Structure formats: C-alpha cells, structure tokens
Amino acid sequence: MKIKLAEKIAGEITLSSNPGQTIKKWRETFSISQQVLAEHLGFSPSVISDYESGRRKSPGVTTVKRIVQALVELDENRGGEIVKRYLPDEKKLAILDIQEFHVPIQSGKFLSEINAKLITESPQSERDLHGYTVLDSVLAITTFSSSDYLQIYGWSNERALIFTGVKYGRSPMIAIRAHPLKPALVIYHQPGGIDKLAIKLADLERIQLAVTKLPLEKLLKKLSELY
C-alpha cells in the first residue's frame, strides 16, 4: 500500500504542469522542511528550493522517486501519521461483504446454496440465519480490536461468518471463542487444511463449522442472490 501511495505521488509530480510546486505541496503536506528533506537525500538545501521555485530544471523521474521515497521514509521515522492518513483503512478492507436477509434462511439451505459442507463432529440443529459477513481472516485477526468485532455482526449475530485466506482455521475460532458474541455458522473459504482444535472449539461453542471450495468471485455472486 505504501508503494502504491509513493507511486501515486510521484506520478502526480511527474505529470504536473508545475512539478516544483507539486513537490512543495507534498513536502508541506508531510510537514518536512526543505533542509531536512535535502539532508536526507544528501542534497544541498538550495537544490530543493531551486526545484520548487522553478529556478532549476524540473527533476527527472528518478529524482522525483527519490524525493517521494524520502518524504515517506521521514514520515515513517516519525510514526507514519501522514502516510496512514492516505492509506485505505485496513479494518474496512477486512470486511469483503456484509448483508442482512429480508427473510431468515435456514443454515442447511444456506450451506447448500454455496456448496459448503459441515465438518463439525457434533450434530447441530438447523439455525435461522439473518445475514452473513465475508471476512479476510488475516486482516480481521491482525487489525480488529475487541470492539471492532461488533461491526461484523451487523444487525444480528444469528448469521454466517465466512473467512477467506484461512490456512488451518485455528485463529478465527480462537478469536470467536474470546468474544462474547457468537455467530450461528462459520465457513472457511478454500482453507489449506483444518486444525482439529478449530473443530473442537466450534463444537464447544455449539457453532456449525463448514468449508466451501467455490472460487471467491462465484461465492460472492451466489451470496448476492440470497438477499
């Protein structure tokens, strides 16, 4: 994400009708002085001033990339607050889709619609699902706080949580077990394997645990047809 941001800034400077002023705009956005930027680049302080004022010929692509990279590096040295401001919110990216059903759908029908199979060992009764949430498991586990988990339950915790990017399924079930709200159904999308502990935790929490091997695009399409 930081690389894409740097590329975006460099592209804006390179394509600008006044590259010097655009460099100045971004330098001031990052709250970095000409002297600090020049020292980081190994330039004389007058070089940055000359670029920004137009007294010096506009820098080439290579120099622009160095200037932008310096701005990003200097910001990161101070905690990266400016970079974070321009990066997408990873917490929002963790939720790939979230919907509520107008009419509840029984868990068995839901599983059938997305070609999912139960893997929990203890038999579970049918549950009425009021919605579903599709999550990037890595982003959810690494960025969500306890209060953030409330977002994934929408209007009701009687829903299916579908986790993508699962390797063995242990971490999502541990996170669910640690939170007071529990879903009715958990589905792993194309997991690398299933840890026995994940199945055991699902049984302990009386949560149905299932697996679907549908391609993600097809899975999201089938889900969209349910509400």
Give residue limits of the domains in the chain: 2-86, 90-224
Q: Which tens digit of pLDDT belongs to each residue from 92-106?
A: 678 888 889 889 999
Q: Calculate mean pLDDT across residues 105-133.
A: 87
What average pLDDT does the segment 36-62 reach? 92
Assigned superfamily of 2-86: lambda repressor-like DNA-binding domains (1.10.260.40)
Structure confidence at residue 92 (pLDDT)? 67
Q: Reply yes or no on whether the pLDDT at 32 is more than 80.
A: yes
- Determine the average pLDDT of the residues in 191-199: 88
Strand partners, 188: 163, 211
CATH topology for 90-224 is 3.40.1390
Is the pLDDT confidence value at 16 over 80? Answer: yes
Kindly report, residue by residue over 53-110, the tens digit of the pLDDT.
999 988 999 999 999 999 999 998 998 888 877 766 656 678 888 889 889 999 889 9
φ, ψ dihedrals at 101, nearest 5°? -90, 140
Residue 109 pLDDT: 92
Q: How confident is the model at residue 52 (pLDDT cuts 50, 70, 90)?
A: very high
Q: Which helix (H) or strand (E) holds 209?
A: strand 208-212
Start-end of H helices in 95-209? 107-113, 137-143, 170-178, 196-204
Global confidence as pTM: 0.61
The whole-number pLDDT of residue 122 equals 67
Residue 111 pLDDT class (50, 70, 90 cuts): very high
pLDDT in tens, 133-189: 999 888 887 777 777 777 788 888 899 999 998 888 888 888 888 888 899 999 999
Residue 115 and residue 226: Cα distance in Å, rounded?
Answer: 14
Q: Are 107 and 127 in contact (CB under 8 A)?
A: yes
Least confident among 2-6, 30-34, 35-39, 69-73: 2-6
Q: What is the pLDDT of residue 36?
A: 96
- The number of helix segments (H) and strand segments (E) in the chain equals 12, 6
Work out the pLDDT band at 124, boundaries 50, 70, 90: low
What pLDDT does residue 175 have? 83
